[in-house]
Structure 1
Amino acid sequence: MSLPTPLYKLNAVQQKSVYEPSEDTFLLLDAIEKDIQWLRSLQPQIILEIGCGSGIVSAFLNQAIGGNVTSFATDYNQHALECTMETGRLNGVKIEVIQADLDNGLEHLEAIGGNVTSFATDYNQHALECTMETGRLNGVKIEVIQADLDNGLEHLENKVDILLFNPPYVPTESEPSNVLERCWAGGANGREVVDRLLPRVSRLLSNKGVFYLVALHSNDIPNLLKSCPDLEGTVTMERRCGIEHLYIIKYKRK
């Protein structure tokens, strides 16, 4: 089985601030495809992507899960939210975007039910715009939220069935100088952003929930596998891409 890669497009403004799909993106898509039968068996109701960028991950997962899917995407970057909505439009998927810092701004999601719902978050407005467009291109509904990590997600505690995060993971010594650098600059050991989220993941996931995280070899993979309280981490896929050795870590409840 080979699932199609969602359509997406970034305009000239978005290209300056939204992370375009790259090797790490496609590795995450491959990991999702590898697990798709199992993910379908979970009968997920809520899907959340933090830092949605172009939106193709949310669009891909929603198309693969099938059914009447509603997706939510969060990002602090308005351009990312616009891109995500357009991605949804291009793919026949409705993606609702919410601008937030991690999870701030999600208070209105307190009451959620019905069919599959997907959320995608990103701090970058350009990335959210791209995610919406990716959803549109692929006929997938994705709700996008501008946020920094998961600030404000307390109303989603123990409700998220599939959580996705491709964080800034590249080790850097200085603060990012622009929005695009913020997409990949991970600070010391490439862990500054992801380490803010990991302690919160267990509270977000439902009893059957699963969390997919993109990581780099220099992020200390053995430590990452043990860094989500109450969750068991395993490497589900890895790939060398030039000088980078990329991993997809899957966390489930013990």
Structure 2
Amino acid sequence: LKAAPMPKYDFTTEQQRNVYLPDEDTFLLMDAVFNFCEIKPSSVLEIGSGSGVVISFIALNFKPNIYMAVDINEKAVQMTNQTLMQNGLQQNCVQLDLFPDNEKFDLIVFNPPYCVGSADSLGIIDKALSGGLNGRSQIDRFILQLQNHLSDNGEAFLVAIAANDIIDILQLVNKCGLNGQTVCEKRL
């Protein structure tokens, strides 16, 4: 895989307790987008932006006309906007669960909560990781709404793990009228 310039980022101790920070899955997502995105997107959406590193990476390397990030966690929204600002980019992250209404994007990326387990009564970081009993609660919601928010010839990148049943995820993508494939794998 080719390497790309990384955005600057710096987090306080409080932010580290309240926001999912860049980890191996974050870097895998950036590698996948950089090496396998076949379009030059003019509009980009990151769902579940966490630290803001991925949207900053995409904005710096792809230079889309419009980029937007959303996260359900207010602290993550603040951190994403901070990371965008640290990289000389316009702050454009809002608190939202999944997609903004009636908007379409050329490129959509999502590193969802995919770990198997219940998110009930968990701390804020655990909720950023836990995707429900099969790890798919947010993944399936994303896929079922994706076609309504992806522009013609648009591309989406989603992180998942083997426990999420990749074959079933790809079948759901196809049932929704989209073409899905695995473009990058890593043993974590």
Higher strand share: 1
Instruction: Tell me which amino acid in the other structure corresponds to 1:39.
Output: I
The aligned residue for residue 39 of structure 1 is 39
Q: Aligned partners of 1:225, 1:53: CA distance in 2, in Å? A: 25
Aligned residues, how many?
Answer: 185
**In the TM superposition, what is the alpha-carbon distance from 1:142 to its structure 2 partner?**
4.2
| TM-score of the superposed pair, with normalisation by structure 1 | 0.69
Q: Where in structure 1 are there 5+ consecutive unaligned residues?
A: 70-115, 242-254
Q: Aligned partners of 2:82, 2:165: CA distance in 1, in Å? A: 35
CA RMSD of aligned residues (A): 1.5
Decide whether the 8 Å contact of 2:116 with 2:134 is kept in 1.
Answer: yes
The aligned residue for residue 238 of structure 1 is 185
Decide whether the 8 Å contact of 2:44 with 2:68 is kept in 1.
Answer: yes
Q: Aligned partners of 2:127, 2:55: CA distance in 1, in Å? A: 20
2:137 is aligned with 1:205: no
* Percent of aligned positions that are identical: 35
**In the TM superposition, what is the alpha-carbon distance from 1:148 to its structure 2 partner?**
1.4
**In the TM superposition, what is the alpha-carbon distance from 1:11 to its structure 2 partner?**
1.5
2:59 is aligned with 1:59: no
Q: Aligned partners of 1:4, 1:215: CA distance in 2, in Å? A: 24
What secondary structure is seen at the aligned counterpart in 2 of 1:232?
A: coil
Instruction: Tell me which amino acid in the other structure corresponds to 2:29.
Output: L
Q: 1:118 aligns with which of 67, 75, 86?
A: 67
**In the TM superposition, what is the alpha-carbon distance from 1:154 to its structure 2 partner?**
2.7
Instruction: Tell me which amino acid in the other structure corresponds to 1:55.
Output: G
Q: 1:138 aligns with which of 87, 93, 96?
A: 87
Q: Aligned partners of 2:28, 2:126: CA distance in 1, in Å? A: 21
Decide whether the 8 Å contact of 1:55 with 1:130 is kept in 2.
Answer: yes
- Summarize the alignment of residues 129-208 of structure 1 with structure 2, pairs less than 5 Å apart: 129-150=78-99, 153-156=100-103, 159-173=104-118, 175-208=120-153
Distance 1:176-1:169 versus aligned 2 partners, 3 A rule: farther
Q: Where in structure 2 are there 5+ consecutive unaligned residues?
A: none
The aligned residue for residue 21 of structure 2 is 20
Instruction: Tell me which amino acid in the other structure corresponds to 1:227.
Output: L
Instruction: Tell me which amino acid in the other structure corresponds to 2:106.
Output: D
Decide whether the 8 Å contact of 2:113 with 2:127 is kept in 1.
Answer: yes
The aligned residue for residue 128 of structure 1 is 77
Distance 1:53-1:2 versus aligned 2 partners, 3 A rule: same
**In the TM superposition, what is the alpha-carbon distance from 1:225 to its structure 2 partner?**
0.8
